[in-house]
Amino acid sequence: MRISMPLQYAGDPKAAVDQVIELEKVGLDTVWVAEVYGFDAPTLMGYIAARTETVQIGSAILPLYTRTPTLIAMTAAGLDDLSGGRAILGLGASGPQVIEGFHGVPYVKPLARTRETIEICRKVWRREERLTHDGAVFQLPLPAERGTGLGKPLKIINHPVRSEIPVYVASLGVKNVAMTAEIADGWLPHLFIPEKAHTVWGEALAEGRAKRDASLGELEVSAGGLLAIGEGEDTKRLLDLVRPMIALYVGGMGAKGKNFYNTVARRYGYEEAAEKIQDLYLAGKKDEAAAAVPEEFVELTNMVGPESYVRERVEAFRAAGVTRLNVIPVGEDPVALIEKVKGWASST
């Protein structure tokens, strides 16, 4: 199991990259760069590539609706070249609030768009022939009746460092997870509870894996949470740091009946709490929504407590199929934390 870390998208990005450089020295394997509706991810990913040597650099995530599939492929290939083959393309559909509200693009056919984007990216990187695609969402070149009629098949000018850049998909819904297990190199689930993951996604993962091309290898899984080691209440109180984030996703990322994270919380067995969190959050009572997040939900999505307990949590994630343990180190010495957990993750 490898160790990865999400780069915090709020605050000073340069200071966050300084930390990545120090963590790389003790074995951090991957850094994930979010975009949401803040600074764009590729700019920061290029900056990380210039300042690091070994850490893999993944987008988590590039929202599919904000770029054409060809531009996504070009961006990943460019980063892969500049980093010496260290790029990971993390994709996701995001949600209607961001896509329609911030970008003004209709949120339609997310599954078909995901599948076709991955197909087009892989065609671009392989560079075997001029790019064409005839799908339900994308047609390349654009048909004459939809444009000038002057479009023609082209091939990326540069020769990508790798013809197979790893593609990870952030998915939560049953159909999307099944598709991820079928066609992606990796899966980026959010709010992952290892003890409950099989109940929620087991059938979907099995369905997708049954259709999976053997050439893709085993599906990688990147999941985790807050990481802190210590005794006593001071350490346990660190879990309160993630309550607002959980409340944001479960309560505020979408409307009633259209919140993927709320649906996952319900499928975990927190139906009543999910309803309460959403009602409070949508009513503007964010602090109360955070307080309503169940203690068990907070504990099981993170790794915070005495060393023996944290090691048990790490093993729980491993047992649930996680291959890249995604951690947010908190405490006086994040470097020592990463070094310690890297040792655990590397052992069998």
Quick: pLDDT tens for 204-259: 999 999 999 999 999 999 999 999 999 989 999 999 999 999 999 999 988 888 89
Q: How far is CA 299 from CA 10, 276, 334, in A?
A: 24, 19, 20
At residue 348, does pLDDT exceed 70? no
The pLDDT of 49-69, averaged and rounded, is: 97
Q: Are the C-beta atoms of residues 41 and 102 closer than 8 Å to each other?
A: no
pLDDT classification of 347: cutoffs 50, 70, 90: confident
Non-local (6+) Cβ contacts of 4 within 8 A are 28, 29, 30, 31, 32, 56, 58, 222, 224, 324, 325, 326, 327
Q: What residues form DSSP beta bridges with 324?
A: 2, 222
Q: Computed over its alpha carbons, how large is the radius of gyration of the chain?
A: 20
- To the nearest 10 degrees (0 to 180), the angle between helices 13-25 and 41-51 is 40
The burial class, CB within 10 Å (0-12 / 13-18 / 19+), for 244 is: middle
CA 254 to chain CA mean position, Å: 18
How many other CB atoms are there within 10 angstroms of residue 185's CB atom? 19
For residue 21, say if its preceding peptide bond is cis, omega within 30 degrees of 0: no
The full length of the chain comes to: 348
Q: Are the C-beta atoms of residues 304 and 224 closer than 8 Å to each other?
A: no
Non-local (6+) Cβ contacts of 345 within 8 A are 1, 2, 3, 314, 318, 325
- pLDDT by residue (tens digit) across 268-304? 999 999 999 999 999 999 999 999 999 999 999 999 9
Q: Which helix (H) or strand (E) holds 225?
A: strand 220-229
Instruction: Dig out the tokens for 145 from the structure.
Output: 């009746």
- pLDDT by residue (tens digit) across 311-331? 999 999 999 999 999 999 998
What span, in angstroms and rounded, lies between the C-alpha atoms of 236 and 241?
10
How many other CB atoms are there within 10 angstroms of residue 55's CB atom? 23
DSSP state of 255: B
**pLDDT number for residue 97:** 86
**pLDDT number for residue 268:** 97
- pLDDT by residue (tens digit) across 108-118? 999 999 999 99
| Amino acid occupying residue 317 | F
**pLDDT number for residue 12:** 87
At residue 11, does pLDDT exceed 80? no
**8 vs 245: which has the higher pLDDT:** 245
At residue 10, does pLDDT exceed 80? no
What span, in angstroms and rounded, lies between the C-alpha atoms of 212 and 171?
17
What span, in angstroms and rounded, lies between the C-alpha atoms of 125 and 32?
21
The pLDDT of 35-39, averaged and rounded, is: 90
At residue 200, does pLDDT exceed 90? yes
The pLDDT of 184-203, averaged and rounded, is: 97
- pLDDT by residue (tens digit) across 138-187? 999 999 999 999 999 999 999 999 999 999 999 999 999 999 999 999 99
Instruction: Dig out the tokens for 222 from the structure.
Output: 């990147």
pTM of the predicted structure, to 2 decimals: 0.96
Q: How much helix, strand and coil, in percent to the nearest 5, is found in the chain?
A: 50, 15, 35
The pLDDT of 39-48, averaged and rounded, is: 96
